[in-house]
Structure 1
Amino acid sequence: MPSSQNADLMGNVRALVEDVLPARLPGARVAADSDEIIVAVPGGRARVSLVPLLRSCQDQPRQAWPELVADWVTAVRRELPDTVSADLGPVDVEQLRLRLTPAAATAEADSYLAVPFGAHFTAVVVVNRPERLDLLTLAQAARLDREPAELVRTAVRQTVERELTTLDVRDHELPTGGSVRLLAADGNPFVTTALMSVKRFLPEGAENGALVAAPQYSAVLLHPVDNRLQDAAVALHRLAGTMFAAAVDPCTDQLFWWHGGEFHPVRVMAGEPGGAVQVRLPEALAPVVERLHRPTE
């Protein structure tokens, strides 16, 4: 790899690691003078090389890097002494929030309080500290002397009441016609949690559900489905991809069709050179697609 590309890879991966550390390994930092992270441990500091992570990212497309980085930091945390990985400071129940993230691997979620939200998202309980978000570990949850289900309910309520009441909700025209609804709040890491109540943010008459994207934790896109479904999917996919690539808080570049309370992946793929973009809609919603294209009498 040319040196300029290598430097670009290192810079981007280091930046992603710096973004992930506060939530997944609080107190750790990226070394300024080497490709390592430095973690405080009892009796001193541990230095963990970034080189294996850099090699993994080198072999994968850029959009896969955030997930690779998150998995790598989680693996590092798992190898650290329990005094580092399980006890990250006192927790006040008032600080609990719920964050909707892309679905976590079971092994990754085993050490902190999280519940699946459908097949494609995980609802994660976090501690909203003044300078960072910490995942609520199971060890910390046990010390709060409340049932896990009650802690999840508390986190949901506090997120809705304190983080989602001031969202900026605006409609923007799509090039294909129709509009996309943007839910956003700069610097708010809980906007994706609004996807737990999609219907609340849709206009009346959206009986066919909505195309949904969450390119950033601070921004969600919604488009009520109509008979221009495929063109809208291409436009929304491009918009979400641009936002995801430019984000300091990337969530996912996956596009979904929300219908009947479930999220169904929608695949948008480039065709042959000069050919049309291909849109693969979920087979489970084929009857809805057929109805949308049925001539009106």
Structure 2
Amino acid sequence: MTDTPFDRRHVLDLVADLLPVLVPDAELDPAGPIVKLRWSRGGLTSSAEVGLTELIDRCREQPHHLWPRTVDDWLRAVVDEIGVATDEHLYGAVAERQRVTLRPQGWSAAYDSVLAGLSVPFGRYFEIVFGIQSGPDWHRLTQVRRVMHGLHLPGSPSGLELTLNGLAGLTLQEVPGTPYRMFHRPGDQTVGLALVDHEQALPNGGKGRGTLLALPATDLLAVCPIDRRDDMQVRVDEFAHWVAKAHADAVDPCSPGVYWLVGELLAELPVDLDITPSVTLPKALKSPFWRRRRT
């Protein structure tokens, strides 16, 4: 007995059956394959062509009997996206309100949605997640809604560039009672992107023995300086506990980790707050040679 070869036409037949029920104003173009969407709310009328490759690939990985539910869920999600896209237009030019935020690696994969979100990896530990700012809300940008807004077209502004431009005015603030400093703008989920542009935001951050840093919240990037005159083990242990509390108290938490930026390397340091010392320091920061060289 052999498996039946995958035929995308069977998926398109399901789309053709369900489309008039779930999205009456849409039209299927099997040659694309795409769905042509048309929608209106109030005085706003818009249209877009959404590719079906994502849906077909999802079905390709599933048993045939799951396809009807998969297609149904996908089309219902598209209907929801129409509502979100329409609301986003109410706040003005959507392209200019694109923003990105930094999240721990795997954050997008854990997001409960049948529609693929727009994100790219940043190193081993983080990913850059694209979204749209609408008033006080930030909506994760899906591939489908990106097309609805025409953000995939040549010449469309880059959400990453717009975000980095918006961080140009950030300055490091002292953390009272500590040797740490931080970039902090309460409620702004883009502040962590300062790490992506660290050559500008922290021009000396990777030089010499580097810098210890943390992103306990999306609106907070903390920097712990490396000082050969101090006991770095004590300093970084205290920093790790401060980071853990900031992460626990954050409205929009990011990562509880402590990272070492040196040159172009970003490495996460092992942390266990239940033991002493709490942080496993790299040899470069705890060697006797390093500790003896005082100025």
Q: Does 1:158 align with 2:162?
A: yes
- Cα offset for 1:118? 0.5
Q: Does 1:124 align with 2:121?
A: no
Partners of 1:189 and 1:111 in 2: CA distance: 21
Residue of structure 1 in register with 2:117 after alignment = 112
- Per-residue CA deviations over 1:155-174 (Å, capped at 9, x if unaligned) read 12211223x23435213466
Partners of 2:239 and 2:75 in 1: CA distance: 41
Change (3 A) 1:277 1:181: same
Partners of 1:220 and 1:263 in 2: CA distance: 14
- Cα offset for 1:84? 4.6
Preserved contact between residue 233 and residue 279 of structure 1 (Cα < 8 Å): yes
- Cα offset for 1:229? 2.9
- Per-residue CA deviations over 1:148-187 (Å, capped at 9, x if unaligned) read 9976x7112211223x234352134666xxx211111122
Partners of 2:215 and 2:203 in 1: CA distance: 19
For residues 30-179 of structure 1, what are the structure 2 equivalents within 5 Å?
Answer: 81-84=76-79, 86-87=81-82, 88-90=84-86, 92-104=94-106, 107-108=109-110, 111-145=116-150, 147=152, 154-162=158-166, 164-172=167-175, 179=179
Secondary structure at 1:89's aligned position in 2?
helix
Deviates more, 1:191-200 or 1:107-116: 107-116
Change (3 A) 1:120 1:292: farther
TM-score (normalised: structure 1): 0.60
Deviates more, 1:198-207 or 1:224-233: 198-207
Residue of structure 2 in register with 1:218 after alignment = 219
Q: What residue ranges of structure 2 are gaps of 5+ in the alignment?
A: 1-72, 89-93
Preserved contact between residue 209 and residue 284 of structure 2 (Cα < 8 Å): no
Residue of structure 2 in register with 1:207 after alignment = 208
- Cα offset for 1:289? 5.2
Preserved contact between residue 233 and residue 277 of structure 2 (Cα < 8 Å): no
How many residue pairs align between the two structures? 209
- Cα offset for 1:292? 6.2
Could you say which structure has the higher helix fraction? 1
Secondary structure at 1:156's aligned position in 2?
helix
Preserved contact between residue 115 and residue 124 of structure 1 (Cα < 8 Å): yes
Change (3 A) 1:194 1:172: same
Q: Which entry has the higher C-alpha Rg, 1 or 2?
A: 2
Preserved contact between residue 256 and residue 264 of structure 1 (Cα < 8 Å): yes
Deviates more, 1:263-272 or 1:229-238: 263-272
- Cα offset for 1:140? 1.6
CA RMSD of aligned residues (A): 3.2
Secondary structure at 1:293's aligned position in 2?
helix
Q: 1:293 aligns with which of 281, 290, 293?
A: 290
- Cα offset for 1:129? 0.7
- Per-residue CA deviations over 1:25-54 (Å, capped at 9, x if unaligned) read xxxxxxxxxxxxxxxxxxxxxxxxxxxxxx
Preserved contact between residue 240 and residue 279 of structure 2 (Cα < 8 Å): no
Secondary structure at 2:85's aligned position in 1?
coil
Residue of structure 1 in register with 2:191 after alignment = 191
Q: Does 1:181 align with 2:181?
A: yes
Paired amino acid for 1:218: D
Change (3 A) 1:230 1:80: farther
Secondary structure at 2:180's aligned position in 1?
strand
- Cα offset for 1:201? 3.6
- Cα offset for 1:79? 7.9
Preserved contact between residue 127 and residue 133 of structure 1 (Cα < 8 Å): yes
Preserved contact between residue 191 and residue 218 of structure 2 (Cα < 8 Å): yes
Of all paired residues, the percent bearing the same amino acid is 22
Q: What residue ranges of structure 1 are gaps of 5+ in the alignment?
A: 1-77
Secondary structure at 2:222's aligned position in 1?
strand
Change (3 A) 1:173 1:292: farther
- Cα offset for 1:224? 2.6
